Amino acid sequence: MSSSELKILVIEDNYADFLLLRENMLLARYSAANIFTAETLAAGIAEMEQHKPDLIFLDLHLPDSAGLDTFIQLRQYVTSSAVIVLSGLADTSIALEAITQGAQDYLAKGEFDYKLLDKTIRYSIERKRSQLQSQRAITEATVRGQEKEREQLGVELHDNINQILATSRLYLDHALSMNPVREELVAKSREFISEAIEEIRRLTKKLLPPTLEDLGLIPTLNELVETISITGLFQIETIWEGFDEHILQKDQKLTIYRILQELMNNIIKHAGAKHVTVSLRLVQETDNKVVELMVKDDGKGFNTAQKRAGVGLRNIVSRAELFGGTVNILSEPGHGCEMKVLFPGDYCD
């Protein structure tokens, strides 16, 4: 990517410092049209989610945040952006700590020219790219290992335990045909075993990868939705008629299924919703086509700043990132939740 194509966000409340930084970026041939600015951390996060910058310059001392905590808060929202910390000479130790916490580099205000700035930008983006590649490889290995473990456990339950219990039920059926027999105890035993078999069937179905190749993604998603709808906990509206699933890779289809499964589990456990809308569509975003999975509920909602580090959400984000995807959440207490998982078109067949 050339310097003129890079999208850069500067989170800086000192206008003079911003102008100096901007002047050096222009000297290094970075495009003014792709330089965005914010004066507070909250505004910076909003700009970041809107413009999805390749690089963020972050002042550690802002009106709504100070010191290392500024970077730690921003880090919760950063996915693919490189971060360069802007610091005064007195804050060098804090800037170095920010690097150990995940920032790519730092610049001391007033102590750089456009050549050093350009070199720092390019090195930071390359470091971030290498980091993302390593993270993606680790995540992919982890997810594939989880799916393999699910499959092995599912097969074991189906071929071993389930068969043993089925045989036990046959023995009990035979015992019930004989007299005299304590029928009430045997009947109760048969009832328990039948219940165990049904539970294992449900567990097996959940653990084994869905038969996407046989049924296709949309029928598999319909089956998942119907299984949840039977509980009567909430109404589910699906919007994916006409979606061409052939544009998706096999592993991407499984990822979409697992993400929806995780989201539905979260809604059942935490949302207290009455109505849920699920859609899957191909949308045009700027110059690219994007596959969008959207799940919206009218439940309790939550503070996104507090919940982004949850295990369930981390799993969703990790799965999405395997295919260059991003996760956008819109929620607040008392106003439900809308989550969009976006996969760029160049990850599709």
Question: How many structural domains does the chain have?
Answer: 3
Q: Which residues pair with 278 in a beta bridge?
A: 238, 295
Note whether residue 262 is domain-resident.
Answer: yes
pLDDT score of 269 = 83
Q: What's the mean pLDDT in 79-88?
A: 90
pLDDT higher for 209 or 221?
221
pLDDT score of 184 = 67
In this structure, the answer to whether residues 342 and 256 fall within a common structural domain is yes
In this structure, the answer to whether residues 229 and 291 fall within a common structural domain is yes
**Residues in the chain, how many?**
349
Place of tokens 């078109």: 345
pLDDT score of 306 = 63
Exposed / middle / buried, residue 21 (Cβ in 10 Å: 0-12, 13-18, 19+): buried
pLDDT digit string, tens, across residues 290-310: 899 999 999 998 887 665 555
Note whether residue 117 is domain-resident.
Answer: no
pLDDT digit string, tens, across residues 224-240: 888 888 878 889 999 99
Single-letter amino acid code for the residue at 214:
D
Tell whether the model's pLDDT for residue 349 goes beyond 60. Answer: no
pLDDT digit string, tens, across residues 93-143: 888 899 988 899 999 998 899 999 999 999 999 988 888 777 777 777 777
Note whether residue 127 is domain-resident.
Answer: no
At residue 286 the predicted structure's pLDDT band, cuts being 50, 70 and 90, is: low
Among residues 163, 181, 207, the one where a domain terminates is: 207
> For the whole model, what pTM was predicted?
0.53
At residue 178 the predicted structure's pLDDT band, cuts being 50, 70 and 90, is: confident
In this structure, the answer to whether residues 312 and 240 fall within a common structural domain is yes
Tell whether the model's pLDDT for residue 284 goes beyond 90. Answer: no
| Phi/psi-derived region of residue 295, left when phi > 0, alpha when psi is between -120 and 50, beta in every other case | beta
The whole-angstrom separation of Cα 65 and Cα 320 is: 30
In this structure, the answer to whether residues 230 and 343 fall within a common structural domain is yes
Quote the distance between the C-alpha of residue 231 and its chain's center.
Answer: 26
In this structure, the answer to whether residues 293 and 227 fall within a common structural domain is yes
| Domain interval for residue 297 | 212-347
Single-letter amino acid code for the residue at 340:
K
Contact 124, 86 (CB under 8 A): no
Note whether residue 232 is domain-resident.
Answer: yes
In this structure, the answer to whether residues 244 and 197 fall within a common structural domain is no
Residue 230 backbone dihedrals phi, psi, to 5 degrees:
-60, -30
pLDDT score of 171 = 67
In this structure, the answer to whether residues 221 and 166 fall within a common structural domain is no
In this structure, the answer to whether residues 216 and 307 fall within a common structural domain is yes
In this structure, the answer to whether residues 318 and 216 fall within a common structural domain is yes
Tell whether the model's pLDDT for residue 345 goes beyond 70. Answer: no
Note whether residue 78 is domain-resident.
Answer: yes
Among residues 151, 173, 207, the one where a domain terminates is: 207
Note whether residue 225 is domain-resident.
Answer: yes
User: If DSSP codes are grouped into helix, strand and coil, which group holds residue 348?
Assistant: coil
When the pLDDT of each residue in the chain is averaged and rounded to a whole number, the result is: 83
CATH code for position 294: 3.30.565.10
Q: What's the mean pLDDT in 274-296?
A: 87
pLDDT score of 3 = 76
The whole-angstrom separation of Cα 95 and Cα 106 is: 6
pLDDT score of 122 = 92
Among residues 160, 181, 207, the one where a domain terminates is: 207
Tell whether the model's pLDDT for residue 195 goes beyond 80. Answer: no
pLDDT score of 157 = 67
Least confident of 42-46, 61-65, 84-88, 242-246: 242-246
| CA dihedral over 10, 11, 13, 17, signed as positive or negative | negative
pLDDT higher for 141 or 341?
341
Note whether residue 253 is domain-resident.
Answer: yes
CATH code for position 25: 3.40.50.2300
pLDDT score of 13 = 94
In this structure, the answer to whether residues 45 and 23 fall within a common structural domain is yes
In this structure, the answer to whether residues 216 and 342 fall within a common structural domain is yes
In this structure, the answer to whether residues 233 and 326 fall within a common structural domain is yes
Note whether residue 270 is domain-resident.
Answer: yes
